Amino acid sequence: MEFSFNGYGLVLLFFGILTSIMAIYIYKRGTTVVRWFGLMMASNAIWSIAYGLELSSQSQEQALFFINIEYLGIATLPLNWFLFCLNFCNKQCWYKKPHNLISILIVPIATLALVWTNPLHHLHYQEVKMSYQGPFPMLALTPGIWYRIFTIYFYALLASGCYLIFNKFKSSDPIYKKQNYSIIIAAVIPWAANLSYLVGIRPLGFIDITPFAFILTTFLVFLGIYRFRLFDSVPIAREKVLDLMTDGFLVVDEKHRVIDYNSALNRFIDKQKNHKIIGSSIEDIFGSHPEIIQQIQAENSCKMELQTTVNNQTVYFEVEILVQQENKLNEAFTIIKLQDLTGAKKDALIAKEQTNELEKVNQLKDRIFSIISHDLRGPLVNLSEVLKMFSYNLISDEEFKALSPALSKDIVYTTDLLENILHWSRSQLQGFGVKKEFFNVRNTILNEINYHITSASLKKINILHDVFPNQIAYADVLMFQIVIRNLLNNAIKFCNEGCEIIITAVYQNDGMLKVCIKDSGVGISENFLQKLFKEENVSSRGTNNEKGTGLGLMICKDFMTRNGGDISVSSKVGVGTTFCVTLPTEP
């Protein structure tokens, strides 16, 4: 190869080599953003060095050889610039999508292929010839159709990158704006130089002044590295770290205007659409919390716990206000930190509910043991003693017969009580589930009426029902059966001789079935009525001195709740009582 070095070529070679050294130095800084800028500088260096050698070439073939090398830098320069801008603005997720990355890689790859094979199709350059009209031989190139397509791609990526940088510049803190200034100016200078070359403003004839413009770009970047600490990892890491924090941060100036914040702040404020936070007053941000505004205006550093509603959800949070009077910026500012306490509050509420439930279970357990030790033990001891006395002929047959009715009542009471205790204990076992199924309500009620017909006949009580055939419910049939049994047993117990009990079942508009058991018994007082279904001992004796524990109604309430239903009662002393249960008719 023969070279005839001239001033233009030597300048490009010198600064091209300098740019390559800077590219290696910048790339070794380590971070992703810095490395993309280093690759962009490497593209500049390839362009400058190859163009310097092209201008020093004496033959057309040698000049075209270096043009092919130049395009390694020219084709990758806008790509590296755009990728650098995406990383610098924390938008690198864009090119991680395969279709986006492919869309920006197609043009540079196609450009390299078309430049290297241009003699076969002349799509990139229509005509290539050597011109000897200047101070030294130079190539005179006539652009082709693909040259214009690549130019559009070139400026589209340059413009997109500058737009990203400009947006970042607008929202960045003043302490970082000097860095953004240097990047924007460094990008605009070669862009303007290349644009002037394309539109025909060529002070150096056929010489493209774009590589010379990168000489000034190199100087600005070099100045930025050592003067403004360009690419210092602190400002980039600062934004990423703040956005990764779950706590909200807000910085306001001495006039109580927002000058900085992180994205987590949006979880604590109900921001209107298109509402800009930067520049807003604290009244706009914390209008619903005057206590925060008062503390900021009074310049008090403090902590407080508050709650608010964001997107129709309650959020609990702690506000910490830090007033900074002395700082490196020589300006007073206030930092407001908002820590989310919603999870902790919900956990505390759940823990409190669990504690309350545990206390109720323990109270009920104590009550069950009390019933077992007294109410269940007493009748069995009495029966045992009477049988023992009868077996030892300590009492006569007539005396035994006289005691039999009382013993029979005790046995009935003990059986019912034991059955309730067993059913309740079984329902409390871990792993016990509600086995819901469709069942015929009328058949279940008729079975319970037949079960209680003997005890009702002893008091001459008439049990009627108004339940239509094939009325279907969806619940645990055993639980429903126990509920009806307890309610019928209570109705009989608190009825006088000749009373009437009516059972009805009616479908409701909300898809539930309502079953009511109405008696014309003694009724329940208002004071006693309020204690039903609660964890209190509200047992009382029936009209024939039948004993009770109140455990049955608690079981009824528990079983109906588990099946998605409910139980209610209405009563009037001397008139009677009506118990109603509701249960689903479908899943």
Average pLDDT over residues 250-266: 83
Tell me how far apart the alpha carbons of residues 210 and 225 are, in angstroms, rounded to a whole number: 22
Tell me how far apart the alpha carbons of residues 72 and 233 are, in angstroms, rounded to a whole number: 29
Q: Give residue 329's pLDDT band: very low, low, confident or very high (50, 70, 90).
A: very low
DSSP secondary structure, 223-246, as one string: HHHHHS-TT-HHHHHHHHHHHH-S
Most confident of 114-118, 140-144, 549-553: 114-118
pLDDT value at position 262? 81
The residues that bridge with 82 in the sheet, in sequence order, are none
pLDDT value at position 227? 58
Judge whether residue 274 has pLDDT over 60: no
Q: Is 422 helix (H, G, I), strand (E, B) or coil?
A: helix
* Dihedral sign from CA coordinates of 344, 345, 346, 350: positive
pLDDT value at position 442? 92
pTM over 0.75: no
Q: Mind listing the pLDDT tens digit for each residue in 494-538?
A: 888 889 999 999 999 888 999 999 998 888 888 888 777 665 555
**Strand-by-strand arrangement of the 248-253 sheet:** 258-261, 248-253, 333-340, 313-324, 302-310
Contact 37, 84 (CB under 8 A): yes
Most confident of 345-354, 417-426, 436-445: 436-445
**CA separation, residue 542 to residues 203, 418, 494, 497, 549 (Å):** 117, 19, 5, 12, 11
Residue 207: closest CA among 350, 306, 63: 63
Structure tokens at 250: 């807000």
Q: Give residue 289's pLDDT band: very low, low, confident or very high (50, 70, 90).
A: confident
pLDDT value at position 231? 55
Give the type of residue at 131: S
Which has more confidence, 577 or 357? 577
